Structure 1
Amino acid sequence: MSAAPVRQHRPVAVGATARRANASSPAPEPRRHLHAVAAPEQARSIAPFAWTCIAIVLTSLLAVLLINTQMTKGAYERRDLKIEIASLHQQSATLTDQLERNDSPTYLAQRASDLGMEPASTLGSVSIADGAVLEQGE
C-alpha cells in the first residue's frame, strides 16, 4: 500500500437537481474498510456429469432390452410347452378310451373267440403254491 492519502470521489451532478443534492447531502460517509476478496472459483466442466448420465441411461436401456429378450424367449418356451401338454392330454384321452374299449367284457369275449378260445364249461381256480387246478362247482 502506498502512503498517499485516499481521496473520495463524489459524482458531479448536472443542473438544478445536482445543486439540491449537494446542498442537502449530509456529511461524507465514513471510510469503509477494505476486505480481501476470494478469487472466483473456476467454472467446472459439466462433461463428467453428462457422461455419467449418458452411461446410466444406456445401461438402463441395455438392461431393459436384455430382460425383454429373456421374457420373450420364456414366453415362446411356455407356448411350446402348452402345445406339447395339450397334445399329451389328447393322446392320454385317446389311449384311455382305447383301454376302456379293450377292457369291456364283450370286446374280450370277441377277441377270445377270434383267437379260437371257447367258453369254459366249469369255473375253477389255480393254486400258485402247488400249481394245481382246483375246480369249483358247475
Structure 2
Amino acid sequence: MSQLAPVRSAPRQGARRATTTAPRQLKVVTPPETAGNGVFLALCVLLLLGGFVGVLLLNTAMAQGSYTMRDLQHRSDELADTQDALRHQIDGVSGPGPLAQRARGLGMVPAETAAFLRLSDGKVLGVAKKAKANEQFSVVTESKAPARSTAVPTTPSTTSTPQSSVPATTTGATPSTPTTTTPGH
C-alpha cells in the first residue's frame, strides 16, 4: 500500500450498548498539603539571615582591625621620632668635640705616643710615654665649608648663622679658622 491511499473506515462490529445513566458530576479536588514547604522556607530565611549577620560581623571586625592598625601606625611613628631624637642626642654627646671637652674637664691630655693592646694574647704593642699638657691642642668638630654664592653677601655682624645639629666646639683656636694639631708635631 502506498501512503497516499485513502483510509477506509472499518465497519463496527457489535452493537452499541445503550446506557441510560446520567453524565458524571465533576468535583474540584484540592492538592494534598506538603509538610516540607514550611520547613524549606524557614531554612532559606534562616540561611539568608545567617549570611547577613556573618557579613555584618566580618565588616565590624575589619573596621576594628583598621582602627587598631591606624593606632599602631601612629605609635610606630611616635617611636621612630623618639628614636631619631635619641640618636641625635647621642651624636651630639659622643662627637669628637664634646668628648674632648669632657676629657679636658677630667684633666686628661692627648697622648704623644700610642700603645695598643692586642686582645688575642694581651700583649702591649708600642711604648707609651707620659703625656704633657699642650695648650695649643684643639679638636675641630665642624669644618667651615665655602658658602654657596648668594646675591646678598653676608657679614658676621649683621646676620645670625643658623645652628647646626652638632654643637661646634673648638678649644684654643678662633671659630673662623679651625686648626687641628696632631700629637707630636
- Paired residues in the alignment total 107
1:64 aligns with 2:55: yes
Partner of 2:156: none
Partner of 1:105: 96
- Cα offset for 1:96? 1.7
TM-aligned CA distance change 1:127 to 1:5, over 3 Å: closer
Q: Which has the higher contact order (CA 8 A, sep 6+)?
A: 2
Partner of 1:5: 19
Greater C-alpha Rg? 1
% same residue: 27
Partner of 1:28: none
- Cα offset for 1:74? 1.1
Partner of 1:50: 41
Partner of 1:125: 115
In the aligned structure 1, how far is the partner of 2:113 from the partner of 2:92? 25
Give the counterpart of 1:134 among 126, 129, 132: 126
- Cα offset for 1:52? 1.7
Where in structure 2 are the equivalents of 1:83-102 lying within 5 Å? 83-102=74-93
- Cα offset for 1:133? 5.7
- CA distances 1:68-126 after superposition (whole Å, capped 9, x unpaired): 22112211221221022101110111122112212321111111112222222x12122
For the residue of structure 2 that corresponds to 1:124, the secondary structure is coil
Partner of 1:82: 73
For the residue of structure 1 that corresponds to 2:32, the secondary structure is coil
In the aligned structure 2, how far is the partner of 1:4 from the partner of 1:44? 44
Which runs of 5 or more residues in structure 2 are unaligned?
1-16, 129-182
For the residue of structure 1 that corresponds to 2:126, the secondary structure is strand
For the residue of structure 1 that corresponds to 2:77, the secondary structure is helix
Task: Output the TM-score relative to the length of structure 2.
Answer: 0.47
TM-aligned CA distance change 1:127 to 1:8, over 3 Å: closer
Which runs of 5 or more residues in structure 1 are unaligned?
10-33
| Cα RMSD, aligned residues only | 3.1
